[in-house]
Chains A and B, each alone.
Chain A
Amino acid sequence: MKLYCLSGHPTLPCNVLKFKSTTIMLDCGLDMTSTLNFLPLPLVQSPRLSKLPGWVLKDGNTFLDKELKECSGHVFVDSVPEFCLPETELLDLSTVDVILISNYHCMMALPYITEYTGFTGTVYATEPTVQIGRLLMEELVNFIERVPKAQSASLWKNKEVQRLLPAPLKDAVEVSTWRRCYTVPEVNAALSKIQLVGYSQKIELFGAVQVTPLSSGYALGSSNWIIQSHYEKVSYVSGSSLLTTHPQAMDQASLKNSDVLILTGLTQIPTANPDGMVGEFCSNLAMTVRNGGNVLVPCYPSGVIYDLLECLYQYIDSAGLSNVPFYFISPVANSSLEFSQIFAEWLCHNKQTKVYLPEPPFPHAELIQTNKLKHYPSIHGDFSNDFKQPCVVFTGHPSLRFGDVVHFMELWGKSSLNTVIFTEPDFSYLDALAPYQPLAMKCVYCPIDTRLNFIQVSKLLKEVQPLHVVCPEQYTQPPPTQSHRTDLMIDCQPPAMSYRRAEVLTLPFRRRYEKIEIMPELADSLVPLEIKPGISLATVSAVLHTKDNKHVLQPPPKPTQPPASKKRKRVSDDAPECKPLKPLLSGSIPMDQFVQTLEKHGFSDVKVEDTAKGHIVLLQEAETLIQIEEDSTHIICDNDETLRVKLRDLVLKFLQKF
């Protein structure tokens, strides 16, 4: 059993598990942090960005000044943003049989895999995952395609050139494999390969293994996966949450008794408690708006935004913010808000019960009804007519490199009255803000990551007790910036096995058993013999028939009649020849009695020596040695077959035959 690790990002995993005869890809996350190296794509012509000076090498060489721009001491690539794909060289991805998706954030690289690698298998995911994943992909494509960029930079990717660049460009990994965003047809083609599944549904893969999605409590339709055969169980835990937010609660019980538990997608901000961060978010929002400033919240169109809107729903009246407009701007804003209300069966219990009243499960419906929350596909069109300040704007993309958020950063960045509040933990807020420097607006970092923290992981592991834990290497040591925080790592026994990008792990357990069916007529013919109370044995002579990873024991073919004529024996091609079976032996030899028996049969001068594994009986006169061990007996005598047979028969007297 092997695990191929194609992604180095612990919360955007992409691993391939080879288990029995199947090749299963676990998630295909897309690392978008590469886009932080690029200049933002402004929706409206930005004089500031277009006037940025080109980057010049120390020696005055200007050959890169068209590709690279400098802003407040940082260098950015002036080109269409590109993404860092999962490793494609480590194994032939066309051999992947199935892809299991755990949540909508972990499927963003799907088109690259399904459309470029010769993949012919099936993708399994829950319905909300697919629908919201589609929204995220469509938003991403829309954000990038609607700002066409004339030039495409590639010079800087040259290894020799890259060496000369300042950090972080210099240290960016595998830039040659970075790719532009996919297109809508590619998204559609990739999504068409998905087969929808429900929680706890058992899916057979080639008769060899069974895969089952379980609720993981992190996002709408998010799942952990169980991959099991009859005797082995691998759990894949990716992006799970034990907090009571909108999704259905995490199913922990089904993860019990795993041989291997692959653990990914823990919280990216283990020191920030989501409750405290929500408080921080609300306080900063209120303070800014009270002072007449605007609040910008860069976010994804689905996920935490639902919880934030719910908190604000309860908070705005108490904070005197009833008259402040909330805008949600995204090409998929409308679909996201509406989808959230129709996936009742995937929601937490409280929200499910609301549906029976009937009431919309999320209170943002009421915010929309009362005109407190307004949503628009983009800043163009209706929004510009309705726009009122001070206001709160939720919009993408959290990287601040594309999407409507770029416009608001340019618009509000100059005033210290305004605040940008980062709630998504995927991007470093300092890096995200780098191309907007110098910036007067206030920046607040309130990352809200509801995924498991290390305390919860340690409780979870105690509860489900897997034999082995496998996780990204980042989880096996304290965060580099807080090396004294030994509480911020996985602590389990035996220690977790760690992996990094482009590594292949041999998982630490061996398959020892395989289930085989016995045909009824064969079973009828067995004659069990009780060798210990409660334990019966029987010998079986049969033909093992294997097809579609299922093994069946069938009755052996009848022995062929001896040919009437004394013709030469013809080797049968149909069935293997069945030799008469020697009986099997069991039991142990009591040494005292054995020695007495030997003496009775005329062997004198019998000596018994104890060895580590059993005994050695020496018959000095006969120059013979009987080696008796737990599972074997050897009679060593010098070419005296009669003596050997005699001794053998004496040994056999003490053993049971069947």
Chain B
Amino acid sequence: MDRECSQLLPSVCAVLADSRQLVADDTFLEKFLDWFKTLTETESSLLLLQENPCLTELITCVLKLKDPSSSTLSFILRLTGIFAASESCFQYLQQRELLISLFGEVGPLSSALWEEASVRSGWVQGVHSMVQHQSALHFLCNCGAIDVIFTLQGDPSLFVASAANQLLVHMLTFSLQSFQTKLVNIKDCDWPVCAQKLIVHIEESLKSNSASRIKQSLKLLTSMFGCCHDLWTEVLWSQLSERIVYLLEEKPVHAWHSLVDLFLSMARSPVFSCPECSLWTSVTCALEHLNPAQVGRLAVGVLKLQECPQAVRIQALSVLLQPMDCVLKAASHPLEYPGLLNRSVNDSATVETLLSCRSSCASLLCQTLAHLEELQYLTYLPVDLPYIPLLQSVVTILQFCIGLATPASCLGNKISRILIGCFRVQRSALDILGALSHRESHSVFMGSVSDILLAYLKSPDTSPTVLKKSFQATLKWLVRLSEAPSSRDHWQQTEQFIRDLFLVLQKRLCSPYWEVRDSALEFLTLLVKHLREKDGFRQVLFSSEVPKLTEDLLEDPESYVRASAVTAMGQLSLLTQLISKMPGIENGNGKEKSIVAQLQEILSTDSEGFPRRAVISVFIDWLKEGHPDVLKDTEQFVSSVLQAVNSDLDWEVKAGGLELAEVFSAQTLGRLGLAACPYAAVSSSATRSTHLSESLQIFCRVKLFEFLFGALCDFDRPVAQKACDILITLKAELCEESSLREGTRAGLSTEAHGIAWLEETLRRWSSCAEPCPRGNADGAGSQDPNGVLLVLRTVDLEGLHGSLNRSSDHIEKSPQSLLQDILATVGTLEDNEADCY
């Protein structure tokens, strides 16, 4: 602790110990504790107490107070816990009987303040901090604290209950940490007293009839198995497993949620990974006894495990596939599909009951679909997924949802009635349908997937959110199909699908609902981006009315739609420009306005931020990818964009402008051989100097520096930061040692200037129409390369970089400031009190 803080600490402690000094804002107490936590990690806690006796006095004083505030008491409990974490300090406090007074039966435990959740929470946290050595454990066992913690497990405050549970986990793992068990029967072992007490408590709770006690113990075990992977956990499990299986066999299983959590937590522990472990018997039992709606999470968790007996995996997969199997069988199909399951895990009646009930059908299906989707993203799935029947069952669900499936049974009739128009299930099914595209198969796609996707995309009843999902799924399939090596015939069939798709897209772009227009445009953008290499796709695209409609949507009344139209046009225009003589979009030829001009107009006139942001990101893409219209006169293009961005108030547009400036400057320097490429041939210094001045002149012509310096002065920190980064890079490129020396020789000041000076210079630049005399930084205009270079050298970019990178409250974060704040707050309160009086 530094000297200033040591000096301030006694008065702060005095304030805290004074019951009259009520502190309205107790967040500083948290900061205060954080500070002590850091201090005790680096310094000796005992020394800290000894050197600052005010701290011990504070604890004593608060204990003596007749009526302390709950926040102060809670604070003291936690503070003492932090100190008592060190064994020497623990002894020190113990000698002064402070610990027993705070954590023993006579302390806050028996006071009226114990009713306050904050005090109980402080007590638990204090104890938690303290349990870092055996002495603390003994102390707690002896003073009856453990029973208090057991009671607090069922505390009405969820925070306290959870903290108490965590504390028990910590105590159990800590007490057994150093325990070298020989792993024989637990009963024969001489386990530490504290651990024994806890284990007995867990066992009793599990045997009790109280659902809440059972859940508490299961939660405790879940946390414990989750964080502790020592060998003794296996011994503990062997003692409890029988009881857990008993819980599973109850009807109905009340604690299924907690049991699933427990099994998942244990299954991830290396201790239980061995295939012979009894855990798997219990997991198997859970997969059998819990219904599919309850056990789905466990099944998917099991399938994600790297170490797990194959039989359990197969069973888990069966659990997930069973509802899908039922749905598949409930509808009649033109072709016979093999079922999804060889054998059934649960008796199918349970699943059928769940599926035929309105309240459970949709949720079971959504849950199952989501779990199965999760499996699709696994890099390695250790079981064979019956891909085709699964896909068919998903398609069947989607058919049911829009009344296209023909029920083949009574269950089918019920499912049909429940699912028709059910958006939730439609969304989940479309998600997995998209995910299943990774196992791309052309015949499957043309067989049933393309039909159902088109049905959803065409149907006027498809809700906007479902339509979006349909677009996403379609995109995934098309991208996959385009990437896969396939025969010519196959791709021609796909093209036919794309042709139908564009008819739908055309209509969707004219929809009266903006969400629909927006999703259609987003879809179009991605489609063009991914399929632009395909000839057939391009032909379909440009022979449709989609490009024209997209262009019209640049004037849509809804800003989101305009933004999406801008992005889509960006892609379309790139595509048109990159392929020669493509009919369709014309750009600038025979048209009133070129697309570049249209987008520039949006950038400078649109009243909403989204379209402007979209324009700038399109421009960045165009510059990067070399859009011919941009290449025609890049300088003019960049200059006009920067000018528009400079006066924009939206910081994201500005940040986009900066990115454009960065790309442009890198391209310019690169083109002139000045890029920082380690393998580039080293040019002679004379050539380099010529190139430097050439680039500098280009930058000046496009007013790059005026824009960058302006952005550096911007109030939005991200803008200023980015500008600063770019300027530093440019400075490194342009202001070489030699030029610096030159400047010094010319007798110019090299003193570093700050923002105020820069702002003044920029003002002068803007008012100065004509370039000012050479070499005079103060009078030079933005077009004068030397003047610009001088400013670049003179501004303290490194200093600015440092201060911009610090968060705005870096000064206020210091402990000294915290202590001063506490005192100041109290002072203000006193003043207010006087005023009120």
Q: Shortest CB–CB separation between residue A315 and chain B, in angstroms?
A: 5
Contact call A487/B420, Cβ cutoff below 8 A: yes
Complex Cα distance, B563 from A402, in Å, reads 48
Whole-angstrom CA separation of A386 from B511 in the bound complex:
29
Q: Does B485 belong to the interface (CB within 8 Å)? A: no
For B405, the chain A residues whose CB sits under 8 A away are 484
Contact A318 B512 (CB under 8 A): yes
Q: Shortest CB–CB separation between residue B802 and chain A, in angstroms?
A: 50
- Given known pairs A271-B403, A276-B461, A291-B545, the reply for A283 and B512 (CB within 8 Å) is yes
Q: Give the distance to chain B from A243, nearest Cβ to Cβ, in Å.
A: 14
Binds A, one of B82-90, B551-559, B782-790: B551-559
Q: Which among B416, B461, B513, B558 is the interface contact of A484 at CB below 8 angstroms?
A: B416
Residues of A within 8 A of B514 (CB): 318
Smallest Cβ-Cβ distance to A288: which chain B residue: B510
Interface flags, A300-325, vs B, CB<8A=1, else 0: 00000000000100110111100000
**Which B-chain residue is minimally distant from A282 (CB atoms)?**
B512
Q: A279-B512, A487-B416 are in contact. Are A318 and B461 (CB under 8 A)?
A: no
Interface string of B635-646 (1 = CB under 8 A from A): 000000000000
Query: CB < 8 Å: which of A284, A290, A318, A485 contacts B416?
Result: A485
**Residue B506 at the chain A interface, CB threshold 8 Å:** yes
Scan residues 311-347 of chain A and give those whose CB is less than 8 A from a CB of chain B. Answer: 311, 314-315, 317-320
- Kindly report which residue of chain A lies nearest to residue B509, judged by CB atoms: A283
Tell me which residues across on chain B come within 8 A of A282, comparing CB atoms: 510-512
Chain B minimum-CB-distance residue to A317: B557
Q: In the complex, which residue of chain A has the Cβ closest to the Cβ of B420? A: A487
A290 touches B552 (CB 8 A): yes
CA distance A290 to B551 in the complex (A): 12
In the assembled complex, the Cα of A276 lies from the Cα of B461 at a distance in Å of 5
Q: Which residues of B contact A315 (CB under 8 A)?
A: 512
Within 8 A of B (CB), among A470-517: 482, 484-487
Asked whether any CB of chain B lies closer than 8 Å to the CB of A629, the reply is: no
Main secondary structure of the interface of A (DSSP, over half): helix
Q: Does A272 contact B (CB under 8 A)?
A: yes
Chain A residues with CB under 8 Å of B460's CB are 272-273, 276-277, 279-280, 446
A318 lies within 8 A of B556 (CB): yes
Chain B: which residue is nearest A284 at the CB level? B507
Count of A interface residues, CB-CB < 8 Å = 29
B417 near A487 (CB under 8 angstroms)?
A: yes
Residue A278 CB within 8 A of the other chain: yes
Out of A279, A484, A486, name the residue touching B511 (CB < 8 Å): A279
B547 interface residue, CB < 8 Å from A? no
Q: Are A314 and B512 in contact (CB under 8 A)?
A: yes
Of the listed residues A277, A280, A284, A482, the one surrounded by the most CB atoms of chain B closer than 10 A to its CB is A280
Complex CA gap A314/B557 in Å reads 11
Contacting pair B545 A287 (CB below 8 A): yes
Asked if B516 CB lies within 8 Å of chain A CBs, one says: yes
Kindly state whether residue B459 has any CB partner on chain A within 8 Å.
yes
Given contacts A271-B403, A273-B461, A279-B511, contact A486 B552 (CB under 8 A): no
Whether A283 contacts B511 in the complex (CB less than 8 A), given A318-B557, A484-B416, A487-B403, comes out as yes
Instruction: Say yes or no for B575: interface residue by CB 8 A criterion.
Output: no
Which residue, of B417, B545, B552, B556, has the highest number of chain A Cβ atoms within 10 A? Answer: B417
The verdict on A286 contacting chain B, using a C-beta distance below 8 Å, is yes
Residues of chain A lying within 8 A (CB to CB) of residue B557: 317-318
Which A-chain residue is minimally distant from B561 (CB atoms)?
A318
CA–CA, A408 to B770, complex, Å? 69
| Smallest beta-carbon distance A504→chain B, Å | 33
B549: chain A residues at CB < 8 Å are: 290
Q: Which of B459, B506, B558 contacts A318 (CB 8 A)?
A: B558
Bound CA–CA A290/B509 (angstroms): 12
B552 is contacted by which of A279, A280, A314, A320 (Cβ under 8 Å)?
Answer: A320
Task: Name the interface residues of B383-424: CB closer than 8 Å to any CB of A.
Answer: 403, 405-407, 413, 416-417, 420-421
What is the CB-to-nearest-CB distance from B296 to chain A, in angstroms, rounded to a whole number?
27
Q: How far is B633's CA from A19's CA once the two chains are assembled, in angstroms?
A: 89
Q: Range of interface residues on chain B?
A: 20 to 34
Q: Which residues of B contact A272 (CB under 8 A)?
A: 460-461
Judge if B508 is at the interface, Cβ distance under 8 Å: yes
Contact A311 B552 (CB under 8 A): no
Most B CB within 10 A of own CB, among A287, A318, A446: A318
With both chains docked as a complex, state the minimum distance between the C-beta of B765 and any C-beta of chain A, in angstroms.
Answer: 43
User: When each residue 570-582 of chain A gets 1 if its CB lies under 8 Å from chain B and 0 otherwise, what string results?
Assistant: 0000000000000
Nearest-Cβ distance from residue B32 to partner chain A, whole angstroms: 58
Contact in complex: B420, A276 (CB < 8 Å) = no
Near A by CB (< 8 A), chain B positions 458-478 give: 459-462
Is there an interface contact between A486 and B507, defined as CB atoms closer than 8 Å?
Answer: no
Q: CA separation between A484 and B407, bound complex, in Å?
A: 7
Q: Give the shortest distance, in Å, between B522 (CB) and chain A (any CB).
A: 18
Verify A320–B555 contact, CB threshold 8 A: yes
Q: Point out the residues of chain B lying under 8 angstroms from A314, CB to CB.
A: 512
Return chain A residues, CB-CB under 8 Å to B407.
Answer: 484, 486
Contacting residues of chain B (98-152) with chain A, CB-CB under 8 angstroms: none
**A118 vs chain B, min Cβ distance (A):** 48
Q: How far apart are the CA atoms of A278 and B513 in the complex, in Å?
A: 10
Q: A287 to B507, alpha carbons, bound, how many Å?
A: 7
Interface residues in B413-464 (C-beta closer than 8 Å to A): 413, 416-417, 420-421, 459-462
Q: Which A residues lie within 8 Å of B462 (CB)?
A: 276
Q: CB distance A286 to B510 under 8 Å? A: yes
Chain B residue at minimal CB-CB distance from A446: B460
Q: How far is the CB of B513 from chain A (nearest CB, A)?
A: 6
CA A272 – CA B460 in complex, angstroms? 8
* Chain B residues near A287 (CB-CB < 8 A): 506-507, 510, 545
Which chain B residues lie closer than 8 Å to A446 at the CB level? Answer: 460
Q: Which residues of A contact B421 (CB under 8 A)?
A: 455
Residue of B at shortest CB range from A285?
B510
A272 to B510, CA, bound (A): 19
Known: A276-B460, A277-B460, A279-B460. A311 touches B512 (CB 8 A): yes
A482 to B405, CA, bound (A): 11
List, in ascending order, chain B residues with CB within 8 A of A484's CB.
405-407, 416
Chain A residues lying within 8 Å of B416, measured Cβ to Cβ, are 484-487
Q: Which of B406, B508, B558 contacts A283 (CB 8 A)?
A: B508
Nearest Cβ on chain B to A276's Cβ, whole angstroms: 3
B458 and chain A: residue at smallest CB distance: A280
Q: How far is the CB of A18 from chain B (nearest CB, A)?
A: 37
- Chain B residue at smallest Cβ distance from A320: B552
Q: Nearest-CB distance from B619 to chain A (Å)?
A: 25
| Complex: A291 Cα to B406 Cα, angstroms | 39
Residues of B within 8 A of A485 (CB): 403, 416
User: Which residues from A are CB-within-8-Å of B506?
Assistant: 287
Looking across the interface, which residue of chain B has its beta carbon closest to that of A278?
A: B512
Cβ-defined contact, B417 with A486, below 8 A: yes
Q: Given that A277-B460, A290-B552, A487-B420 are contacting pairs, would A482 and B511 also be in contact in the complex, using a CB cutoff of 8 Å?
A: no
Which residues of chain A come closer than 8 Å to B510, judged between CB atoms? 282-284, 286-287, 290, 319
Q: Are B413 and A279 in contact (CB under 8 A)?
A: no
Specify which of B506, B510, B545 lies most central, judged by the most chain A CB atoms within 10 Å of its CB.
B510
- B459 close to A276 (CB less than 8 A): yes
9 closest A-B pairs by beta carbon, nearest first, are A276-B460, A283-B510, A286-B510, A280-B460, A282-B512, A276-B461, A484-B406, A283-B507, A273-B461
Q: Could you jot down 23 A-B contacts, CB within 8 Å? A: A272-B461, A273-B460, A273-B461, A277-B460, A279-B460, A279-B511, A279-B512, A279-B513, A280-B460, A280-B507, A283-B508, A283-B511, A283-B512, A287-B506, A290-B549, A318-B557, A319-B510, A320-B552, A446-B460, A484-B416, A485-B416, A486-B416, A487-B416
Contacts A276-B462, A484-B416, A486-B413 known; list 19 others, CB within 8 Å.
A276-B460, A279-B511, A279-B512, A279-B513, A282-B511, A282-B512, A283-B510, A283-B512, A284-B507, A286-B510, A287-B510, A290-B552, A311-B512, A315-B512, A319-B512, A484-B405, A485-B403, A486-B407, A487-B417
Residues of B within 8 A of A (CB): 403, 405-407, 413, 416-417, 420-421, 459-462, 506-508, 510-514, 516, 545, 548-549, 552, 555-558
